[in-house]
Structure 1
């Protein structure tokens, strides 16, 4: 039945929503909550590690310049025009098992079950390049694109792969993986590599020669715009090398692809991939290449965000990251197996990783829509702001002499400063990690995996957001008996439950058991329960009103029972209480202090 248009019109008397009306209503709520700020926008906004202000409300006035159309400069809405009949992004699985037979079995299983291209890690971190014939035995190289990642052995790996692919030709979309600047960022090593010669070989086989890997900057704790700026500076350095050797600007652009990290922060990830294409299009425009120079993007779910503890939660993190990369327009996406922090993934973990793509593409239909985030006032503004910050950082790198020169000092110092801010937020649980800094499971049984090859050191540091808490969990697990903290619950259940739950969550995040004792206000009764707990650290848990009446007396009784330290869950000063734990406190500092008080060995 056809619905008449007038049936869909809102009531003419319905008042139009305005920003001023929103401000008035938001200010009223903030006043009731006790928040103080010059305006609701100031109170509810936050700033990313790149300095981009994310506001609580956007409207059409926030839209930046026209982002164009998919497949056309500046490529914000996608590097190519996509039809609904196309399958979506390239499902690219990473393989780094050093045993050729094991890798071959895994490669064939992946290709038979939804994977459309291969990412092979070669050299010290993975396979011997000489094993490529065995690993790729049975793979139809004219149908399955292969991306190499061989570091210092790129030339050797490329020559071996091209000999294998020569009889039938290599599938379009493959890449020889040259990235000498990325190698230095990742390992500190330098390897002589003839990029123009490699580019010539790649062009003969319809491949690309260079993959600019920006993940080392992300894995060092860097923010999104820093990752983007470093990648664009590296791209410009390679363009200079290729064009100085005689390639045209267009030929040089056709030899370069990019790899970026995708995180569980879905909106920033969406904006990052859109901003990356805008930035590269600006470089192309400056080089006189006005069309056909859309950035080729490979997304890989972040290594830094993965946890070794409660690794099953990584499935959720990687699903969010894969979704965001796909929505952001990445050409290829790699979902890291959930057990990546534990060692080499098993068949089940690889299956879950590839089925994450299948669920999003086939069941959820994420790839059916071109640039689904396009037109969002928030996403368009975030994309433009992120691109602006990244371009400023790129210019700073260029002023320092380019990407390679900036690796001496500028880039490491900038990334270290960002990681310091990020790690502070993690320690204070302002950036919570589910299953680690929040809601830990002390009874978990971790899967056992074969150890992965140790990555080469010497370059930028490799951080893991959860490491501070996970190191404490390991330390607690090594103790002969699990160290514990006594929670002295004062008063009725309704008075102490909230803060007792908070304190238990905090101490358990470090692997400490918590023993609850006391349901009244009698200091002697609580002290007796403390003696039975067999620990030397206690934490008072109750309401502010009951603290005022009983905290000092209970703390004194606990001291008499042998407590070395008395914490209080909440705020305020009371005689006998050493320090407090509360929302926003430095949880890692509190846990380290508690470990020292309990005498737990490092």
Structure 2
């Protein structure tokens, strides 16, 4: 093949390239005086501007490349409590195309209350029977017993007659992440450094090359972290490990090589790609600050737990695909995809196969791996990457400046509450966006499906475990929560399902005014809203009589429905003409009356006629649905916690 230049493509010069000023002038004509910033400029949770248009990136910026180009590794989790069943699932994963197994022992946050229950070499050997360690990579999910798990796996490798340098294992020890999740650390930081150095030394003595420590972004992300906060926490964790190991006499270059990163791939494609790229550039900067020649860090990416839904879980297939695509484009070295049923319990073989195939299709059919850093030169991606580098570095510096009781850095920031307070602010802001549906969740807060199909899991989620208090803990902090964004709506759906299991599902009568053309928009809005809380809201052809509403037929239909709550749905013109009379008629029939839409100047008249609440775009849907359930359930009360 011969290369082709732009000069060989004469049609490329057939059209003049418009200048930015020309584009802006055309846009201003369309906006007709509307605010450009409000209409076309967005902002991320970190305050980073998202422009509507970016020029091509120019210059010779550093490239965030991996150590080894080519295919990323397809990771699959081994988390079944029973070794025999764990083995069956693990072999199916490998036969189906996975080349990396993530071992989640009991207690690992990633195991979600399950986890491989292997305490002896024999039990672990049974769980990994038939797994050829010299062909399959292994990684350990961080867990409170990480040192024991690491040494147990090393003993198994040795018992099979394999040298440590013949296998590739990421031992995944992350005691700082475990501290953040559990709230306790059994030893002081100097003792932790000694323990880590001794464990790494013992593993290296048997030939293992590591990495041994994981700076894991999942605890922070699941507690509500923004992209910059996750980057800052991961970097601060890694820097703390560098200090601890250096204090034990380990050269910085070897300490650096002992660390890998785990980052979360979320459903925002642009931010996920930029986050992974920024992580590499930021780590290069840390290495340079340490006087080291920069080497690419190994990054494992996992699709976001907090974005999974337990309702209409098949939508998780789309979320997982977007996140996996983003992680691949962003340059992850390995990727783990959450099975689409993970929020409902222990995933079965089918859900695991779909998760695995999500990666394989993107690798084998989309060929994403064939281009190193596909986002290079794209103005939007480059701008976001640089902005996240700036924000992530600032978050790192903030964490480094914190201290408590002589402990500095990220552990000090956990101990004095700085981290918890910052994440709580982000959770509150995100919760508001979710509740008002400014940030919609498809299948949950938008387009809910009350007739969703039941999906299979191997076991339902175990109840919350009460960890035994560690009276001897050297460091105590407020544990970070692990939350999914859809939980407030799912709690409402569960309450509705409990009522439905003993009789009829709670329902709302949509009192439509005028003809179909007049009420369809708002009846659709109201139905979507109420079904998000598990309340049925059927809508028919209406009660129009020569484009007016037959109030007698409307009231008769309300009485026949058995509903307690009626929601008026119509056009602004219809409300002005008929809403007052309809509200009075429904109130006389015993209805609690709401109205879909903003009342405007009619509010006083409507409230006097009996309308008690108004629901519209921007309403706190969670609060409104709690009230609606309280009205429609026989007890008249709903637990709002």
TM-score (norm 1): 0.93
Q: Is the 8 A contact 1:263 1:269 kept in 2?
A: yes
Q: Is the 8 A contact 2:175 2:185 kept in 1?
A: yes
Are the structure 2 counterparts of residues 364 and 13 from structure 1 closer, same or farther at C-alpha, using a change threshold of 3 Å?
Answer: closer
Q: Indicate the SS of the match to 2:483.
A: coil
For residue 12 of structure 1, report the CA deviation from its aligned partner. 5.8
For residues 436 and 155 of structure 1, the distance between their equivalents in structure 2, rounded to whole angstroms, comes to: 40
For residue 10 of structure 1, report the CA deviation from its aligned partner. 4.0
For residue 595 of structure 1, report the CA deviation from its aligned partner. 1.2
Are the structure 2 counterparts of residues 338 and 548 from structure 1 closer, same or farther at C-alpha, using a change threshold of 3 Å?
Answer: same
Which consecutive residues of structure 1, in runs of 5 or more, have no partner in the other structure? 70-75
For residue 309 of structure 1, report the CA deviation from its aligned partner. 0.5
For residues 502 and 476 of structure 1, the distance between their equivalents in structure 2, rounded to whole angstroms, comes to: 20
Q: Is the 8 A contact 2:83 2:118 kept in 1?
A: no
Which consecutive residues of structure 2, in runs of 5 or more, have no partner in the other structure? 108-112, 403-407, 468-477
For residue 569 of structure 1, report the CA deviation from its aligned partner. 3.3
1:583 pairs with one of 597, 617, 628: 617
Partner of 1:66: 60
Superposition pairs for residues 65-144 of structure 1, below 5 Å?
Answer: 66-69=60-63, 76=64, 78-82=65-69, 86=70, 88-124=71-107, 125=113, 126-130=115-119, 131-144=123-136
For residue 9 of structure 1, report the CA deviation from its aligned partner. 2.5
Q: Is the 8 A contact 1:503 1:569 kept in 2?
A: no
2:550 pairs with one of 498, 513, 522: 522
For residue 453 of structure 1, report the CA deviation from its aligned partner. 4.8
Partner of 2:330: 328
Q: Is the 8 A contact 1:141 1:165 kept in 2?
A: yes
Partner of 1:413: 421
Question: Can you list the C-alpha shifts for 1:159-188, whole angstroms capped at 9, x where unaligned?
Answer: 211112122134554111211110011111
2:53 corresponds to 1:57: yes
Are the structure 2 counterparts of residues 298 and 191 from structure 1 closer, same or farther at C-alpha, using a change threshold of 3 Å?
Answer: farther
Superposition pairs for residues 43-442 of structure 1, below 5 Å?
Answer: 43-60=39-56, 63=57, 66-69=60-63, 76=64, 78-82=65-69, 86=70, 88-124=71-107, 125=113, 126-130=115-119, 131-149=123-141, 151-166=143-158, 167-170=161-164, 172-192=167-187, 193=192, 194-203=195-204, 204-291=207-294, 293-400=295-402, 401-408=408-415, 409-442=417-450
Q: Indicate the SS of the match to 1:513.
A: coil
For residues 199 and 147 of structure 2, the distance between their equivalents in structure 1, rounded to whole angstroms, comes to: 8
For residue 448 of structure 1, report the CA deviation from its aligned partner. 3.8
Question: Can you list the C-alpha shifts for 1:292-333, whole angstroms capped at 9, x where unaligned?
Answer: x21210101100000000111111100110110010001110
For residues 142 and 288 of structure 2, the distance between their equivalents in structure 1, rounded to whole angstroms, comes to: 31
For residue 515 of structure 1, report the CA deviation from its aligned partner. 3.2
Q: Is the 8 A contact 2:246 2:255 kept in 1?
A: yes
Cα RMSD of the aligned pairs, angstroms, is: 2.0
Question: Can you list the C-alpha shifts for 1:30-84, whole angstroms capped at 9, x where unaligned?
Answer: 22xxx731xx245311111111111111114xx4863324xxxxxx2x22252xx
Q: Indicate the SS of the match to 2:231.
A: helix
1:447 pairs with one of 452, 455, 472: 455
For residue 381 of structure 1, report the CA deviation from its aligned partner. 0.3
Are the structure 2 counterparts of residues 306 and 347 from structure 1 closer, same or farther at C-alpha, using a change threshold of 3 Å?
Answer: same
For residue 190 of structure 1, report the CA deviation from its aligned partner. 1.4
For residue 154 of structure 1, report the CA deviation from its aligned partner. 1.6
Partner of 2:110: none
Partner of 1:490: 513
For residue 412 of structure 1, report the CA deviation from its aligned partner. 0.6
Are the structure 2 counterparts of residues 168 and 44 from structure 1 closer, same or farther at C-alpha, using a change threshold of 3 Å?
Answer: same
For residues 327 and 372 of structure 2, the distance between their equivalents in structure 1, rounded to whole angstroms, comes to: 13
For residues 54 and 6 of structure 1, the distance between their equivalents in structure 2, rounded to whole angstroms, comes to: 34
For residues 7 and 371 of structure 1, the distance between their equivalents in structure 2, rounded to whole angstroms, comes to: 26
Q: Indicate the SS of the match to 1:514.
A: coil
Range with greater deviation from structure 2 (95-104 or 188-197): 188-197
Residue-pair matches, total: 583
For residue 589 of structure 1, report the CA deviation from its aligned partner. 1.6
For residues 516 and 13 of structure 1, the distance between their equivalents in structure 2, rounded to whole angstroms, comes to: 55
For residue 531 of structure 1, report the CA deviation from its aligned partner. 1.1
For residues 248 and 59 of structure 2, the distance between their equivalents in structure 1, rounded to whole angstroms, comes to: 36
Question: Can you list the C-alpha shifts for 1:74-115, whole angstroms capped at 9, x where unaligned?
Answer: xx2x22252xxx4x1011111211111110111111111111
Are the structure 2 counterparts of residues 159 and 585 from structure 1 closer, same or farther at C-alpha, using a change threshold of 3 Å?
Answer: same
Question: Can you list the C-alpha shifts for 1:492-511, whole angstroms capped at 9, x where unaligned?
Answer: 11111111111111111111
For residues 247 and 452 of structure 1, the distance between their equivalents in structure 2, rounded to whole angstroms, comes to: 42
For residue 452 of structure 1, report the CA deviation from its aligned partner. 4.1
2:572 pairs with one of 519, 525, 544: 544
For residues 195 and 412 of structure 1, the distance between their equivalents in structure 2, rounded to whole angstroms, comes to: 26
For residues 426 and 257 of structure 1, the distance between their equivalents in structure 2, rounded to whole angstroms, comes to: 33
Question: Can you list the C-alpha shifts for 1:408-436, whole angstroms capped at 9, x where unaligned?
Answer: 20001100100111111111111111111
For residues 305 and 428 of structure 1, the distance between their equivalents in structure 2, rounded to whole angstroms, comes to: 17
Partner of 2:472: none
